[in-house]
Copies of this chain bind each other. A is one copy, B any other.
Amino acid sequence: MKILLIGATGTLGTAVHKALAERGHEILTVGRSGGDLRYDFTDPARTAELYERAGRVDAVVSAAGSVPYKPVTEMAPEDYLAAFHGKALSQIDLVRQGIPRISERGSFTLITGVLAREPIPTGTAASMANGAVEAFVRAAAIEIAPQRINAVSPTVFTESLAKYGDFFPGMPPVDLADVARAYVRSVEGAQTGQVYAL
């Protein structure tokens, strides 16, 4: 398949790229600062341009999203808006604009995260954005068939424990290779409206 991979140069994106490439797919990498196509993910005006340049693809795979982390009492409305734009609307718009452009049986795979179900302090904006995307995925799935849409919702990566482990005390980490496998499952499988929690 021809796959558009957003956030291709990040920690997760790199692992997803490797897993999809090993499966023989042709991958068009997209990143803010690297990849085949440069793209500011949070600007919906640029999404049309991205699809224009990419041409017809069979799967759109996202490993990109950013949200602010602060105690709830220090959050401003702008922080929740930044989280909404940076992880929810950005990915939703990728789907919205992709529906008429990708293959008839193409798929979308979005990234969310464990904070949708298991909160941590300073994580209200992240939880909110993840919850928004997961509910959107379930809802969009019943409208876009035979196109498909799923989310991958990982906990902290084993490879990122040194950096982020303190935020997830006692929570089992997940290997990047296993997260990447969930993307393969979404892209090559037949399920839709799923949230692959791992």
A residues near B, CB below 8 A? 44, 71-73, 75, 77, 80-81, 84, 88-89, 92-93, 95-96, 99-100, 115-117, 119-124, 126-136, 138-144, 193
Contact = CB atoms under 8 A, between A and B. Distances in A.
A119 B141 contact: yes
Contacts of A81: 84, 89
Nearest to A142: B119
A119 B131 contact: no
Contact of A139 (B73, B88, B124): B124
Contacts of A129: 132
Contacts of A116: 131, 135
B135 A128 contact: yes
Contacts of A141: 119
A96 B80 CA distance: 11
Given A127-B138, A136-B124, A96 B84 contact: no
A132 B89 CA distance: 12
Nearest to A72: B143
Number of copies: 2
Nearest to A132: B132
Contacts of A80: 88-89, 92-93
A77 B93 contact: yes
Contacts of A126: 139
B139 A128 contact: yes
Contacts of A127: 135-136, 138-139
Contacts of A135: 115-117, 119, 127-128, 130-132, 134
Contacts of A72: 95-96, 99, 139-140, 143-144
Nearest to A85: B81
Max chain B Cβ within 10 angstroms of own Cβ: one of A92, A96, A136:
A136
A100 B119 contact: no
21 contacts: A44-B77, A72-B139, A77-B93, A77-B96, A80-B92, A80-B93, A81-B84, A115-B139, A116-B135, A117-B135, A119-B193, A121-B143, A126-B139, A127-B136, A128-B139, A131-B132, A131-B134, A131-B135, A131-B136, A132-B135, A134-B135
